[in-house]
Amino acid sequence: MLTHSSFLLSGHGHGRAFEADATYRADGHPKPVVLFVHGFKGFKDWGHFPLLADFFAERGFVFVKLNLSHNGIVVGGTGDLEDLEAFGRNNFSIELDDIGQVIDALFSPGATPVPAAEIDLQRFFLVGHSRGGGLVLLKAAEDHRVRALATWAGIADVDQRWPQAVLDEWRRAGVLHVPNTRTGQQLPLNYQILEDYLANRPRLDIPHNVRRHVRQPLLVVHGDEDETVPLEAAHTLHQLKPDAELLVVPGAMHMFGGAHPWPEATLPEPARIVAERTAEFFKRQQ
């Protein structure tokens, strides 16, 4: 029987509450820890992500996933994106700090519901999907507690290289809206996200950090039919870090077969392939 436990954190600097949860088999033996980071428009309980937690827990991991503090989810709310004002105030620095705060909690005895006897922090791993893939690369570059990491359909650069006309209008209006096709919402991106990137470029430059500072073993996973983040991103990451392992999943799209909501009791087949390969990769990191 698996144990599922949730915990709340209050963000350093912004004070916004955000939630994380841990899934594991409570057997009194220390287990490697995987922290999973969702992507843009995502959240920890999207689609098949809870089944991913069970999958890793059944294979001897403690699987932790979080809602990034400004992803639009409200603690105790509907469970879907609803706080668009917070969504507009999000930026990459906030997200990296959120991830760091969860890592600090996991490394602080008593700060999470997971008993110290259940976790082996010498084997602490990160997984990120889509934009979350870029985030875990940046976090691994600055936090050597990370033993190894995997990106699933991960971005290879924060810089979107918007045309100058778009940047000029964004600066003038203060906000750029992007559609959420799943919900029909127009999601705001306040101009501050670009200002944050420019002000913190050394920290947020994925190509530079992967090339110079990501020393940990890396698994790069991508579907060859990804409609959101082109497969080219995976090849770029592999070129930046030639010792990375590359897995291209035939026929897989951006969500590896998943959708929200996910009514099935089992993982979609592409996601199962990805999860199996990632678990195997982490088990080799002794």
pLDDT value for 206: 98
What does the pLDDT look like over 77-86, one tens digit per residue? 999 999 999 9
Q: How many independent structural domains does the chain possess?
A: 1
Model pLDDT, residue 75: 97
* pLDDT given at position 114: 98
In tens, the pLDDT along 125-146 reads 999 999 999 999 999 999 999 9
What is the model's pLDDT at position 91? 98
What's the pLDDT score for residue 198?
A: 95
pLDDT at 175: 98
Can you give the chain as a three-state secondary structure string? CCEEEEEEEECCCCCCEEEEEEEECCCCCCEEEEEEECCCCCCCCCCCHHHHHHHHHHCCCEEEEECCCCCCCCCCCCCCCCCHHHHHCCCHHHHHHHHHHHHHHHCCCCCCCCCHHHEEEEEEEEEEECHHHHHHHHHHHHCCCCCEEEEECCCCCCCCCCCHHHHHHHHHHCEEEEEECCCCEEEEEECHHHHHHHHCHHHHCHHHHHHHCCCCCEEEEEECCCCCCCCHHHHHHHHHCCCCEEEEECCCCCCCCCCCCCCCCCCCHHHHHHHHHHHHHHHCCC
Is residue 61 within 8 A of residue 32, CB to CB? The reply is: yes
Counting residues of the chain whose pLDDT is more than 90, the rounded percentage is 99
Q: What is the pLDDT of residues 236-263, one digit of tens each?
A: 999 999 999 999 999 999 999 999 999 9
User: Of 130, 103, 137, nearest to 216 (Cα)?
Assistant: 137
Return d(Cα 244, Cα 237) in angstroms, integer: 8
Confidence of residue 231 (pLDDT cuts 50, 70, 90): very high
* 270, part of any domain: yes
- Does residue 85 form part of some domain? yes
Domain assignment present for 264? yes
Cα–Cα distance, 73 to 70 (Å, whole number): 7
CA quadruple 78, 79, 80, 82: dihedral, nearest 10:
50
Identify the pLDDT of residue 141.
98
Whether 191 is covered by a domain: the verdict is: no
User: Does 115 reside within a domain?
Assistant: yes
In terms of residue numbers, what domain contains 135?
3-159+202-283
Q: How confident is the model at residue 9 (pLDDT cuts 50, 70, 90)?
A: very high
In a domain, 230, yes or no: yes
| CATH code for the domain in which residue 274 is found | 3.40.50.1820
**Residue 217 pLDDT greater than 80, yes or no:** yes
Tokens of 84: 């668009």
pLDDT of residue 223: 98
Task: Choose among 108, 104, 99, 105: nearest CA to 126.
Answer: 99
* Domain-located, residue 189: no
Q: The tokens of 11 are what?
A: 């963000």
Give domain status of residue 52, yes or no. yes
